[in-house]
Amino acid sequence: MRRLDMYVVAKILYIILVLFIIISPFAFIFYRAVTLRRPTGIVFIGFKFFMEIPEGYWKALGNSLLVGLLVALIDFVIAFPPAYVLSKYEFKFKRVITALLVVPMFTPDVVAGVGLSTVYIRYYHLYGTLLGTVLGLASTSYPMMLLPLLVSLKSLDPTYEEAAKTLGATPLQTILRVVIPLIGPGIFSGFLLTFVWSINNYLLPLYITGPGLDLLAVKLYSDIRWWGLLGRVAAEASILQLTTFGVMLLYLKTIGTKYLTGFVF
Amino acid sequence: MVVYLALVPTILYITLFWVIPILHVFIVSLTYRDSFIMGAPRFVGFTNYARVFSEYVRCIENSIKLPLAAAIVDLILGYPLAYILARRKVLFHNVLRASLIFPYFGDLYVSYGLWNMFLPGGIFDFVYKLLGVSYRQVLYTPYAVIAGFSIFTLPFMVLYVSSSLQEIDPTIEEAALTLGATPIKAFFKVIFPLTLHGAIAGFLACFGWNLGGYLIPLLLGGMRAGDVMTVKIVHLALHVHDYGVAAALSVILISMTILITFMTFKVTGMLR
């Protein structure tokens, strides 16, 4: 009995340690944003630093949310057809094709940035445009849409589709009216994952967005590099963090972790 | 047949925005400085690679060593966590599962938060005082980078190990225990060999993700310890405008990443 108690205590301590390790960097930024360090000690100053954030930052928040939404939309358009085909039909090299489709997710952003910026400037003439930013961000994030879609399409009962077809629906109607509503949670997971990923990406926009379009993460990155110790920057980081947390919390509350198989769980 | 037609836009998109840019990284690596994007490309053969292997060997070394160390830390830290999460309900079970998603938000917060914590005035002040060291003996060293890397990729390790743990029938462990094995012996003789492929896949995934990490080595490692390939590529491409050498380094980085990704797929059985 004594040994068992020791084991339980060790386990709880271990869990608390891991929780502390994971959460502390995030929590400490909030702490920095609402406190000021004086020689006499640390004082709580409320939301004063949040007031100091320049106006351009809020504009960038709007841009970032727009880019995030567009990237998620484009990701869905790109990822739905292969996800549907891979889950419904049997053919040779299916697993290899799935693997090849997932590879772009693992591309380091610095490399994708060098490649995209050179082709954008030389051939596509998309450098510094909203369209170029969105298409570029989608190129490394669509696997995050593909995997939840695959999970949800595989667990979809094929009888629904057959019923729709027997009742006279065309294939397009079946997909739009039956399949997409039924895999709603899977689509929502992919949507949120790609959205969160793209509003937090600073490295790829640094290469391809240029000065014409301000994005929150890029602004934050350059502020961290030049003014990293200011409380204002901690406040800026907290805002992006709060947006992200809000979205993820909403997600975990409404859908749970089922469709994250293959990512985080 | 119509089904395959539906795939055309996707294939077109991936070709235009992933395959062609990545192939262009190789073409750019053969040109002189920024001549590829400014005016006519001037091809100089493999001299950029010669420069990489004469001047930037140290950052390639760092790029391999630091993520490797972080992957080992992740294995030690993440394996027990995955075991706890996969086996039974524990205190804070859902909080723990949900918090595993944190690092997925990006390395921006992990690096910035850790940087603030390690600086004077952070929460490690009392540790520095206790050990009588200056913050510089912790912050701009490889250890700080390894700490950042391992926090960033801990979820991937937990994911791979717990998915391989879930495949095991729990009765196997019970059988070992009933047949007289101690819990420790049962773990090392039965559970660990069965989850070895998950641990290897997690190890490779952590290594691969950290290869692409940029802000963590930059903020936590400074100029010396954080001298890795990603930092060098951004510096060369965006600040020095030496796209040729940056692309040569990128080719090395992307070939390493793709190799590791396929090794991960091979281990997890995605290529069978």
Coil/strand/helix, residue A37: strand
Q: Identify the pLDDT of residue A257.
A: 62
Of A12, A78, A110, nearest to B230 by CB-CB distance is A110
The more confident residue out of A10 and A260 is: A10
Residues 40-69 of B with CB under 8 A from A: none
**Would the CB atoms of A207 and B243 count as touching at under 8 Å?**
no
Is 90 exceeded by the pLDDT of residue B68?
yes
Q: Please report which residue ranges of A35-54 form alpha helices under DSSP H.
A: 48-51
CB contact, 8 Å: A106 with chain B?
yes
Of residues A115 and A170, more confidently modeled: A115
Region for B136 from its dihedrals, namely left if φ exceeds 0, alpha if ψ lies in -120 to 50, beta otherwise: alpha
Amino acid A107 reads T
What average pLDDT score do residues B10-19 get? 91
Return the residue in A102, A111, A192, A255 with the most chain B beta carbons within 10 A, the one to mutate for interface testing.
Answer: A111
The pLDDT score that the predictor gives to residue A264 is: 41
ipTM for the whole complex: 0.85
Q: Give me the pLDDT at residue B195, please.
A: 84
Does residue B26 lie in a domain region?
no
Residue A4: pLDDT over 70: no
Say if B13 falls within a structural domain.
no
pLDDT at B57 over 80: yes
Which residue in chain A is spatially nearest to B239 when comparing CA positions?
A207
Q: Which amino acid is at B234?
A: V
Q: Is B126 on the interface with A (CB under 8 A)?
A: no
Count interface pairs A-B at CB distance under 8 A. Answer: 234
Residue A220 touches partner B, C-beta closer than 8 Å: yes
A117 pLDDT higher than 80 = yes
The structure tokens 């690096």 sit at B111
DSSP chain B: -HHHHHTHHHHHHHIIIIIHHHHHHHHHTTB-TTTTTSSS--B-TTHHHHHHHHHSHHHHHHHHHHHHHHHHHHHHHHHHHHHHHHHS--TTHHHHHHHTTGGGG-HHHHHHHHHHHHSTTSTTHHHHHHHT--GGGTTTSHHHHHHHHHHHHHHHHHHHHHHHHHHS-HHHHHHHHHTT--HHHHIIIIIHHHTHHHHHHHHHHHHHHHHT--HHHHHHHTTTTT--HHHHHHIIIIIS--HHHHHHHHHHHHHHHHHHHHHHHHHHTTT-
What tokens does A77 get? 């358009």
Mean pLDDT of B115-130: 82
Which pLDDT belongs to residue B146? 92
In a domain, B203, yes or no: yes
* Cα–Cα distance for residue pair B140/B118, rounded to 1 Å: 10
pLDDT surpasses 80 at A262: no
List the single residue in B with minimal CA-CA distance to A82.
B7
| Interatomic CA distance for residues B120 and B117, integer angstroms | 8
* Chain A CB within 8 Å of residue B175 CB: no
Put simply, the answer to whether A111 touches B250 (Cβ < 8 Å) is yes
Confidence of residue A265 (pLDDT cuts 50, 70, 90): very low
Q: How far is A168 from chain B (nearest CA, A)?
A: 18
CATH code for the domain defined by A54-260: 1.10.3720.10
Q: How far is A162 from chain B (nearest CA, A)?
A: 16
**A84, A119, A220: residue with CB nearest B108:** A220
Residue of B nearest to A27 (CA): B113
Amino acid at A12: I
- The predicted pLDDT at position B69 comes to 94
Q: What is the mean pLDDT of chain A?
A: 83
Query: Which region among A199-203, A245-249, B148-152 has the lowest average model confidence (pLDDT)?
Result: A245-249
Q: Residue B88 pLDDT more than 70?
A: no
Could you report the per-residue pLDDT of A39-54, keeping only the tens digit for each? 777 777 777 778 777 8
According to the model, what pLDDT value does residue A134 have? 92
Q: Does the pLDDT of residue A256 top 80, yes or no? A: no
Provide the pLDDT for residue A261: 52
With beta carbons less than 8 A apart as the criterion, state whether B135 and B168 touch.
no
CATH number at residue B121: 1.10.3720.10
pLDDT at A1 over 60: no
Residue A152 near residue A186 (C-beta atoms within 8 A): yes
At which residue do the structure tokens 């205590």 appear?
A: A9
Partners of A171 on chain B (C-beta within 8 Å) are: 2
The pLDDT of residue A260 is 57
Q: Is residue B196 part of a domain?
A: yes
- Residue B94, token pair as written in the block: 């859902």
Q: Which residue of B has its CA nearest to A265?
A: B159
- pLDDT 10s digits, A92-114: 777 788 888 888 888 888 999 99
How confident is residue B52, by pLDDT bands cut at 50, 70 and 90?
confident
A35: confidence class by pLDDT, cuts 50, 70, 90: confident
Q: Is the pLDDT of residue A69 over 90?
A: yes
% of chain A with per-residue pLDDT over 70:
94
Identify the pLDDT of residue A258: 61
* Residue B5 touches partner A, C-beta closer than 8 Å: no
A173-201 pLDDT per residue, tens: 888 888 888 888 888 888 888 898 888 89
Q: What is the pLDDT of residue A66?
A: 93
Touching check for A50 and chain B: CB below 8 Å? no
Decide: pTM greater than 0.90: no
Q: What is the mean pLDDT of residues B135-148?
A: 87
pLDDT of residue A245: 83
B131 touches chain A (CB under 8 A): no
For position B191, what pLDDT does the model report? 81
- Is B161 within 8 Å of chain A by CB? no
| pLDDT for B133 | 83
Residue A103 has its nearest CB partner, among B108, B212, B261, at B261
Q: Which of B103, B257, B272 sits opposite A108 (nearest CB)?
A: B257
Q: What confidence category does residue B91 fall into, taking pLDDT thresholds of 50, 70 and 90?
A: low
Note whether A221 contacts B215, CB cutoff 8 Å. Answer: yes
Domain carrying residue B91? 56-237+245-268
Q: Which residue has the higher pLDDT, B180 or B216?
A: B216
Mutating which of B5, B8, B10 best tests the A interface, going by the most A Cβ atoms within 10 A? B10
Domain boundaries, chain A: 2-44, 54-260
Mean pLDDT of A109-133: 88
Tokens of A203: 């490295």
The total of structural domains in chain B comes to 1
A11 touches chain B (CB under 8 A): yes
